[in-house]
Structure 1
Amino acid sequence: MARGLKGVNDVRIWEYASHILGLQPISQTEDRILFNALTFLRRGLGSADQCLKHCASYLESSGTNKIDLIGRWVRGTLVGTLEEGEKVVGDLVNAFLLESSQKGNSIRMRPEIHVELINLYETEVNPILVKLDGRGLTEAPKLETWTDVTEMHLMNNKISKLPEYPNCPKLSLLFLQANHHLRVIPPHFFECMPVLKVVDLSQTRIRSLPQSFFKLVQLQKFFLRGCELFMELPQEVGELHYLEVLDLDGTEIITLPVAIGKLTNLTCLKVSFYGYNDSDRKNSQSNRIIPQNWISNLLQLKELSIDVNPNNQGWNVIVNDIVKEICSLAKLEALKLYLPEVVLLNDLRNSLSSLKHFRFTVGRHEQRIISRLPLEAAVKLEEEERCLKYVNGKGVQIEIKQALQHVTTLFLDRHLTLTSLSKFGIGNMENLKFCLLGECNEIQTIVDAGNGGDVLLGSLKYLNLHYMKNLRSIWKGPLCQGSLFSLKSLVLYTCPQLTTIFTLNLLKNLRNLEELVVEDCPEINSIVTHDVPAEDLPLWIYYLPNLKKISLHYLPKLISISSGVTDCTNVRMAKRL
């Protein structure tokens, strides 16, 4: 143990090592201290642990030639080179996990270490799983159930009380999410869980974490999603040095503690901040909700989500600094962010092409208590890869036009002056798959094709239009073959000036349309309009061959659905006119 702590200056790690040595035995092994010491030492081995596992399984008791041993490691892809293998052997020997003889040419393992390592690795290979999720339990399992378990699945129950001091030396995974009656975690609950790596307390009613939680120095993933009563993360969180995933999405945290700056191994960070006004909090300027320069030090970060109430003055103070820090994260793949000002997209412009997933909400606005967005549309928005929500916009900003080149989902919410989506440059939307426009009262047509000639919105699959006060047409101007060819769903809610939806030219391009939903459009008198003589209509047959559903609600002036145009016959129709 002393060799394993060589060079470690953190007092808490030494204290934790002492705590580990004193734990109760997890099996019938006679040497409790050795077993616990090996458990602790393995934590610091990293990839070398697989080499140690190989030695425990295959090393001859009399000793094995070092070169032969390293050769096996290389062939088994445990190490990449002979030099790397030499270093691993040296590290294991220095930690007294292996012994060398014959001038370093022969490697062996002491019998007592071999026995205890086999016990450890067998626990991992043959885990004891307690799976009691979704059983309606009101009480946690009894203490004796916890002793030998390696995984405890208790999610989706009605548990309100946990055991005071469970002895869980083998427990590595603990799932307690969606126990909505759970309000308090006992002070010593986590005291004897030395190898716990994953904890999920999401969607519980807890307000705080006990001090014993911060002794989980092997913890790698911690989930606290949807805990709306949780408002303060203690400074002690900085002791969880090996934490890789910290998910606080849906909490009501006010600020992150300065000590969180120690969590430099994070690969995923999700956090939600409670919104406050200047009058709600004293000295708000001096209390940063995120410590300065911390984000830029998260060199391993791949996923970052910062959800804030748009009224949060603390975010408005630091957002410029945070965006600059984010731009320095070379490994970042996914980003969710609220940007009060459009100009902030300039700083992120170079990052957009490298991000696999992003979700930006741009523009100052008040948070709505009740959303007017239909549930189906909200769910669909969350599924898309690269989403831009632009709120309360004015004019046509160059930053938005540039960002649209990388966007697969656009939600234009309450734009104040735009008369057509084309103003943003339809050519910038080649990758657009989902388009949602809501309460854009000045828009009269979605696409103004001008003189035509180009394929427009060829990748678009879903077009949803909601509360469009002055909308009069979907498409204006010539239509090139291939435009809107991928469209599968067209949804129209509350467009009071719209009188018709399709022209014959538009229908010809919608061969992949599967769903048409029209609701509360009181001026619509025909779904399809055309000026083709009746005797020629038989030529215009089999439009919309893939259409499966038509839903028409509150269209009091509707006279004709197809105006004589034949569509496919395999259609499920819902009408409430």
Structure 2
Amino acid sequence: MEESSGGQYHMDMNSHVRKVIGSRTFLVKNNLDAEEACQRISLSHNQVQTFQFSSPNCPLLSTLLLNDNDRLQEIPDSFFKNMTRLRVLDLSSTSITSLPSSISCLCELQLLKLQSCHKLEGLPTFLKYMRKLEILDLHQTALTKMLEASFYNMQSLRRLDISGACNLRRLSLQGCRSLMTLANLDKLSKLEALDLSGTKLEVLPHQIFSLTSMQCLDLLAMEHLKTGGRKDRYGRFKRNQFLYQHIYTQSEQSLSYERGLEVCGGNNSLDGVRGVLSMAKFFHLYGNASIMALSNLGMEMDNLKECWIEKCHQLELLFVGRMADIDAAVCLENLRVSDLAKLITVRRGKLGRGGFACLKHIYLECCPKLINFFSSSIRLQNLELVEIKFCCRLEKVFEEDSEVGQNAFP
């Protein structure tokens, strides 16, 4: 920190704050004495306990640093009422237990730092209406009373660290289309539901795979997702309910499964979900514009019981057999295929006889290029229902094989 005339100071800011402020340095004032023309104020490390004004008049203020005042326990409820141009607010390492309601007046706020606020119990619900907020730092802030957090449709939010929320069960970031960084997820040991739908994440954070309490993971409309980073650590994933139901009028309602994965949209190969898919019992792929074969996701689908594939217009086949002793989809019971413009066949090549042995229900709809269902017969001892609609070029559903013969069907 360098001293200048008048007892004022300049200090270097970290990279994230500098991007918002637009300058490498900023002016430090030592009080809040109704400085109407002041634009940047710092009271950092000043042992502040209370404020002389409950609602200071700072209409031009853009940056306010109150961090590292561990004696500061409460901020007056109307404190931010006259700071409508504030863009940077740092309350890190204070002893506040809650945020004042007047923080909702900060419509221009872009950066909010609440790091190491150990007594802060939760966040106000109106925080999600701060549409210009880009960076929210809650690192090492316990938020002990907050079980759910929703940042729904905060379209400017691009960096979030909520790792201190030790009791957080549900976290929704749906519609945060600028979000590119989600830090320290592995600290959320009690997290059960995470919705990343519509975010700009390019890499699925590897920490997700260590969250052993996870029950629900939504990755819908993640067009930028490319890879999952580390692939050597995967935890358990569970799912009790799914977003798509009653698509087929005559089909039974899907059962509830312990582990499931739904992926909607995208123009990539979905390498980042292979680890989750290897343990999933339910898989729903909707609207992917890249995958040509479901097997491209890997043959690690040993636990899969139900599979729905819809509107994947590059998909030509589902399963490819490369070795005769490999069993495909050994646990699969329900297969639902709909609106696949290029699908020619479901399975190509030889697989082990255990493949599809548990298959009970088959649903085919709107596959105009589908010629045959299986390229060779398999043992379908548990088959109960086959439903086919609008597959105009279908020639054969099952092709008879002399080796299997009549034993292929129940």
TM-score bin (small chain): 0.5 to 0.7
Tell me the equivalent position of 2:163.
296
2:190 counterpart (328, 331, 334): 331
Which residue in the other structure is 2:178 paired with? 317
Q: Give the distance between the partners of 2:127 and 2:190, measured in 1 at CA.
A: 28
Question: Which amino acid counterpart does residue 275 of structure 2 have in structure 1?
Answer: Q
Please give the alpha-carbon distance, in whole angstroms, between the structure 2 residues aligned to 1:393 and 1:381: 29
Q: 1:512 aligns with which of 382, 393, 408?
A: 382
Question: Which one has a bigger Cα radius of gyration?
Answer: 1
Residue 401 of structure 1 aligns with an amino acid whose one-letter code is R
Provide the secondary structure at the position in 2 that maps to 1:422.
helix
For 1:464, what is the secondary structure of its paired residue? strand
Aligned ranges 1:520-531 → 2 under 5 Å? 520-530=390-400
The answer to whether the 8 Å contact 1:381/1:387 transfers is no
State TM-score, norm by structure 1: 0.40
In the alignment, what sits opposite 2:297? 424
Residue 263 of structure 2 is aligned with which of 379, 389, 395?
Answer: 389
Aligned to 2:330: 458
Residue 9 (structure 2) aligns with: none
Secondary structure of 2:292's aligned partner: coil
2:204 maps to amino acid: L
Which residue in the other structure is 1:408 paired with? 281
* Residues 273 and 439 of structure 1: CA distance in aligned 2, closer, same or farther (over 3 Å): same
SS of the aligned residue for 1:487 comes to coil
Letter in 2 for 1:336: D
State the one-letter code of the partner of 1:385: R
Q: State how far apart, in whole Å, the 2-side matches of 1:326 and 1:397 are.
A: 21
Distance (Å, rounded) in 2 between the aligned partners of 1:412 and 1:342: 19
Distance 1:429 1:406 in 2: 7
Which structure shows the higher helix fraction?
1
Aligned equivalents of 1:377, 1:387: Cα separation in 2: 20
SS at match of 1:297: coil
Closer/same/farther in 2, CA of residues 386 and 260 from structure 1, 3 Å limit: same
Evaluate the alpha carbon distance shift between residue 245 and residue 527 of structure 1 in structure 2; reply closer, same or farther with a 3 A threshold. farther
Q: 1:360 to 1:233 in 2, by over 3 A?
A: farther
Tell me what 1:308 maps to: 174
Cα–Cα, structure 1 residues 342 and 464, in superposed 2: closer, same or farther, change >3 Å?
A: farther
| 1:42-82 superposed Cα distances (whole Å, 9 cap, x missing partner) | xxxxxxxxxxxxxxxxxxxxxxxxxxxxxxxxxxxxxxxxx
* Residues in 1 aligned to 2:183 and 2:295: alpha-carbon distance in whole angstroms: 31
Q: Relative to structure 1, is the Cα distance of residues 363 and 317 closer, same or farther in structure 2, using a 3 angstrom cutoff?
A: closer
- Pick the aligned partner of 1:490 from 362, 373, 377: 362
Q: How does 1:158-557 map to 2 (within 5 A)?
A: 254-255=129-130, 264-266=143-145, 268-269=147-148, 271=150, 273-274=152-153, 284=156, 288=157, 293=161, 295-301=162-168, 303-309=169-175, 315-320=176-181, 323-338=182-197, 340=199, 343-348=202-207, 350-351=209-210, 355-361=214-220, 363-364=222-223, 375-376=246-247, 380=254, 385-394=259-268, 396=269, 398-426=271-299, 428-502=300-374, 505-506=377-378, 508=379, 510-530=380-400, 532=402, 540=406, 543=409, 545=410
Q: Percent same amino acid at aligned positions?
A: 18
Deviations along 1:190-217, one digit per CA (max 9) or x if unpaired, are: xxxxxxxxxxxxxxxxxxxxxxxxxxxx
Displacement after TM superposition at 1:423 (Å): 1.5
Does the aligned pair in 2 maintain the 1:468–1:494 contact within 8 Å?
A: yes
Question: Shift of residue 411 of structure 1?
Answer: 2.5
Note the C-alpha offset of 1:446: 0.7
Which amino acid letter does the alignment assign opposite residue 460 of structure 1? L
Question: Considering only aligned residues, what root-mean-square deviation do their CA atoms show, in Å?
Answer: 4.5
- Tell me by how many angstroms 1:381 deviates: 9.0
Offset, 1:422: 1.2
- In structure 1, how many angstroms separate the alpha carbons of the residues matched to 2:333 and 2:103? 42
Contact 2:341 2:368 in 1 (8 A): yes
Q: CA deviation at 1:524?
A: 1.8
Residue of structure 1 in register with 2:55 after alignment = none
- Take 1:541 and 1:447, find their aligned partners in 2: how far apart are those partners? 22
Moved over 6 A (4+): 232-235, 241-246, 256-263
The question of whether the paired residues in 2 share the 8 Å contact of 1:392 and 1:413 is answered with no
Tell me how far 1:244 sits from its aligned partner: 9.3
Q: In structure 2, what is the Cα distance between the partners aligned to 1:494 and 1:233?
A: 52
CA distance in 2, matches of 1:316, 1:381: 32
Alignment partner of 1:358: what SS?
A: strand
Please state how far the C-alpha of 1:491 moved relative to its aligned partner: 1.5
SS at match of 1:402: helix
Give the superposition deviation at 1:340: 4.0
Deviation, 1:342, is 6.4
Change (3 A) 1:346 1:265: closer
Task: Supply the distance in 2 between the matched residues of 1:382 and 1:337 (Cα, whole angstroms).
Answer: 21
TM-aligned CA deviation for residue 478 of structure 1: 1.1
CA distance in 2 between partners of 1:431 and 1:353 (Å): 18
* Cα offset, 1:275, TM superposition: 6.4
C-alpha contact (below 8 Å) 1:342/1:400 kept by paired residues: no
User: Structure 1 residues 244 and 316, CA, compared in 2 at 3 Å: closer, same or farther?
Assistant: closer
1: CA distance, partners of 2:326 / 2:398: 24
Q: Flag the structure with more relative contact order, 1 or 2, with Cα contacts below 8 A and sequence separation at least 6.
A: 2
Alpha-carbon distance, 1:523 to partner? 1.3
Q: Where in structure 1 are there 5+ consecutive unaligned residues?
A: 1-9, 12-231, 236-240, 277-283, 310-314, 366-371, 546-577
Q: In the alignment, is the contact (CA less than 8 A) between 1:391 and 1:413 conserved in 2?
A: yes
Q: Where in structure 2 are there 5+ consecutive unaligned residues?
A: 1-48, 51-101, 106-118, 225-242
